[in-house]
Amino acid sequence: EAAVTQSPRNKVTVTGGNVTLSCRQTNSHNYMYWYRQDTGHGLRLIHYSYGAGNLQIGDVPDGYKATRTTQEDFFLLLELASPSQTSLYFCASSDVGGGQNTLYFGAGTRLSVL
Amino acid sequence: QQQVRQSPQSLTVWEGETAILNCSYENSAFDYFPWYQQFPGEGPALLISILSVSDKKEDGRFTIFFNKREKKLSLHIADSQPGDSATYFCAASMTNSAGNKLTFGIGTRVLVRP
């Protein structure tokens, strides 16, 4: 079974702060994704990547940067955090893109921006 | 604009009843529809999925009914158990799209009372 580990599990920062959320998957999946989950909006795609050094823009990218340093590691960066970015963030991975591939999600990082 | 709509937002059923979760979509190019199940404190996990060439998919107590003409589908949970209490997300994608970009609905929160 795919293993996706996110850290930290909880994070509190202040407006204007700098935050990095980390994600590691240990199943050699090519694709990795960052989603945010908000009540009334479901899961929305922020950024995704199909390999080390690659980055694709998702549906709600404003205010976020991401970097895929290795096949295993995908980071989400908030360089000037705002209260609107208070959310539950999920990382996911999948084997290949397209088709009927299954997304494997981590347990999430709850971020509060005060 | 919500491309994938779910209703109701929350649903309470008694143990043993059938829970019915509804989903509709806008984009006629969507042809793959997975349902993800999420328990509190966890990430979503794939429960069951269907391709648009089928009108029904069963997996144990879980059944998807699909109506391509009306762009609607539903998830039926037969003989509901308290352990089925979770949030269920309907999602959609195009199987020929790169990155398996799933579009999620806002979710239906199901509570099964013993």
| Domain count along chain A | 1
Domain harbouring A80, CATH code: 2.60.40.10
In the prediction, which pLDDT does A95 show?
84
Interface test with A, best of B27, B95, B101, B109 (most A CBs within 10 A): B101
Is A99 within 8 Å of B34 when comparing Cβ atoms?
no
Domains of chain B with CATH codes: 4-113 (2.60.40.10)
pLDDT tens per residue, range B8-48? 999 999 999 999 999 999 999 999 999 999 999 999 999 99
Nearest-neighbour CA in chain B from A100: distance (Å): 6
Q: How far is CA B79 from CA B2, B76, B114, in A?
A: 31, 10, 12
Range of the domain at A32: 4-113
Torsional class of A61: left (φ above 0), alpha (ψ -120 to 50), beta (otherwise): alpha
Nearest-neighbour CA in chain A from B78: distance (Å): 24
**Model confidence at A2: pLDDT above 60:** no
CB pairs under 8 A between A and B: 68
With cut-offs at 50, 70 and 90, classify the pLDDT of residue B95.
confident
pLDDT tens per residue, range B56-84? 999 999 999 999 999 999 999 999 999 99
